[in-house]
């Protein structure tokens, strides 16, 4: 059975998503600006890898939403 993530773990996931997003943007810019077919191909491969990482992190967050503690309404 999965345990809820701690605040520190959630922070780590959020930071990782931010890092992956930045890498995705950088790969996109480089792929769009290169004239080298090999560089373009490598950028697209890396773009796919980092998109997969980002989506896996997002999926992990969604799986843990149900376990997140709720705060009582006042």
How high is the pLDDT of residue 3? 82
Q: How confident is the model at residue 69 (pLDDT cuts 50, 70, 90)?
A: low
CA distance linking residue 23 with residue 27, whole number of Å = 6
CA separation, residue 59 to residues 6, 17, 52 (Å)? 17, 11, 10
**Domain ranges, ordered by start, for the chain:** 13-62
How high is the pLDDT of residue 71? 55
Residue 73 has pLDDT above 60, yes or no: no
pTM: 0.82
Residues 16-64 pLDDT 10s: 999 999 999 999 999 999 999 999 999 999 999 999 999 999 998 888 8
């Amino acid at each position: 059975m999965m345990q809820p993530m701690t605040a520190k773990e959630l922070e780590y996931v959020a930071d990782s998503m931010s890092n992956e997003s930045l890498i995705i943007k950088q790969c996109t810019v480089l792929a769009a600006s290169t004239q080298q077919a090999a560089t373009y191909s490598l950028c697209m491969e890396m773009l796919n890898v980092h998109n997969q990482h980002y989506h896996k992190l997002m999926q992990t967050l969604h799986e843990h939403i149900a376990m997140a503690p709720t705060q009582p309404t006042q």
